[in-house]
Copies of this chain bind each other. A is one copy, B any other.
Amino acid sequence: MADNKKKLVEDITPMDVDFAKWYTDIVKKADLADYSSVRGCMIVRPYGTAIWENIKNLLDGMFKESGHENVMMPMFIPESLLQREKDHVEGFAPEVAWVTHGGAEALAERLCVRPTSETLFCEHFAKVCNSYRDLPMLYNQWCSVCRWEKTTRPFLRTAEFWWQEGHTIHETAEEAMQETEQQLDCYARLCEEFLAIPVLKGRKTDKEKFAGAERTYTIEAMMHDGKALQSGTSHYFGDGFTKAFDITFQGRDNKLQHPHQTSWGMSTRIIGAIIMTHGDDNGLVLPPAVAPWQAVIVPVAQHKPGVLEAAEQLKQQLAGVCRVKLDTSDNSPGWKFAEYEMKGVPLRIELGPKDIEQGQCVVVTRHNREKHFVPLTELSAQIPVLLQKVRDGIYELALQNRANRTFSATSMEEIMAFATEKSGFLKTMWCGSLACELAMKEKAGLSSRCMPFEQEHLGDICPICGKKADVMVTWGKAY
């Protein structure tokens, strides 16, 4: 109890005071993750892991429904293999961890710990792809990868992170392009429908695209503080890698051809997005679809006769309805309220002697602390309704935050005014030049988030250089 009480009174830093500190406080106090003694690597604790498992199950189900199969690839890539595609190696070599020794012996060739697995998949595709009948090959793997980042923050940027990486090859460019878009839609659906995070779908500029890709599509979410978080990407490679790795198949015309390729990934970063999209000064707010417990039953005056029995009965009743926890520990109800608010449990069910007498309970929705008095006989039917209300409620709040923080500019003055006074998304026209993209970064501190699929016509000139522009870019500061 002593430890618990201490924990309870240590409030988390309010997000308006220090957003970064608020974030790490939540990561720690909601028992999501901890640091390890390994530089830049985190330990994902049981509560964080349970959230990731729920995300994984949702995504994995969608992948399998659309015909994808899981595989398990080695965690090492020989240096010579990484070097086979030149843009790719240039992009990744500076940030990989190198294995140089096995036991006491120096290796003949260094191995890098995979930062991503295009090269491994390509080497395998070259062996198993022979005919157009073998296509498409729709592979995915769940694993952790390693990128030697200089500065790290739990979930957002860590030297090791967990993700899925999909890798597919197709008979035609059209099919590969369709796959690239389909998988981006899959990520968008996960975010919007299940995680209640609105996302902006679009294409990355050449500067921001994946090393070796022809096109990179992205979904960009906006955090509480107005900063962007790239939440999932899907890449179209054309036949660049398949040529570099000599992957061929006998086509319908009996001629040897190179297949067209995609890859796409979503990582444990998305847990950072959940925290910074929905959390508040009382802690985490979890979208019901991925909450380890969707409801927690807190008995009130649990020493009184009948209360614990009724609470246990309620738990049984709800077992098939939602993921439910009953807390019968010695802690006070007030302490429990604070604890499960910190952990972001969507619904709190309070049940005391009076409630039992009246055949009801009190259900409190986490995000707005609204109280609902629900007859016990109706509870099983009401829980799904209330969970949906939480999802819709937090989605609406996030949408509103994004609307309030999205602006457009048609001149450099307006851009600078945004950059000095505001934080959020800024839409401008863009001429398409790298120079203007770099200038935007240097002068206004903004990076291009994407060229949104839903384009708007804000004018005809690039506000940075004054030349002709026919594409709209959304800019922002990013995690």
- Provide the A1-15 mask, 1 if CB < 8 A to any CB of B, else 0: 001000000000000
In the complex, what's the smallest C-beta–C-beta distance from A66 to chain B, in angstroms?
14
Chain A contact residues, majority secondary structure:
mixed
Interface size class of A (residues with CB under 8 A): 35 or more
Q: How far is the CA of A128 from the CA of B42 in the complex (A)?
A: 14
In the complex, what's the smallest C-beta–C-beta distance from A255 to chain B, in angstroms?
15
Q: How far is the CA of A41 from the CA of B81 in the complex (A)?
A: 14
Which residues does chain B contribute within 8 Å of A95, judged by CB atoms?
Answer: 102-103
In the complex, what's the smallest C-beta–C-beta distance from A64 to chain B, in angstroms?
10
Q: How far is the CA of A36 from the CA of B125 in the complex (A)?
A: 11
Q: Are A160 and B75 in contact, with the CB atoms below 8 A?
A: yes
Q: How far is the CA of A74 from the CA of B3 in the complex (A)?
A: 27
Q: Which of A46-54, A303-311, A410-418 is the interface stretch?
A: A46-54
A380 lies within 8 A of chain B by Cβ: no
Q: Are B75 and A99 in contact, with the CB atoms below 8 A?
A: no
Q: Are B99 and A113 in contact, with the CB atoms below 8 A?
A: yes
Q: Are B131 and A3 in contact, with the CB atoms below 8 A?
A: yes
List CB contacts (< 8 Å) of A102-121 with chain B.
Answer: 102-104, 111, 113, 120
A317 lies within 8 A of chain B by Cβ: no
Tallying the copies of this chain within the complex gives: 2
Which residues does chain B contribute within 8 Å of A144, judged by CB atoms?
Answer: 72, 75, 143
In the complex, what's the smallest C-beta–C-beta distance from A308 to chain B, in angstroms?
19
Which residues does chain B contribute within 8 Å of A143, judged by CB atoms?
Answer: 144
A399 lies within 8 A of chain B by Cβ: no
Q: Are B36 and A73 in contact, with the CB atoms below 8 A?
A: yes
A76 lies within 8 A of chain B by Cβ: yes
Q: Out of B50, B71, B100, B104, name the residue touching A46 (CB < 8 Å).
A: B71
- Provide the A61-98 mask, 1 if CB < 8 A to any CB of B, else 0: 00000000111111111100100000000000111111
Which of A34, A37, A48 gathers the greatest number of chain B CB atoms within 10 Å? A37
Q: Out of B37, B52, B139, name the residue touching A78 (CB < 8 Å).
A: B37
Q: Are B38 and A111 in contact, with the CB atoms below 8 A?
A: yes
In the complex, what's the smallest C-beta–C-beta distance from A32 to chain B, in angstroms?
11
Q: Are B49 and A124 in contact, with the CB atoms below 8 A?
A: no
Leading 9 A-B pairs by shortest Cβ distance: A46-B69, A41-B74, A102-B148, A44-B72, A98-B101, A100-B100, A38-B74, A97-B99, A38-B76
- Extra contacts, 7 of them, besides A43-B74, A45-B71, A49-B69 (Cβ < 8 A), are A36-B73, A38-B74, A50-B69, A50-B70, A94-B103, A97-B111, A98-B101
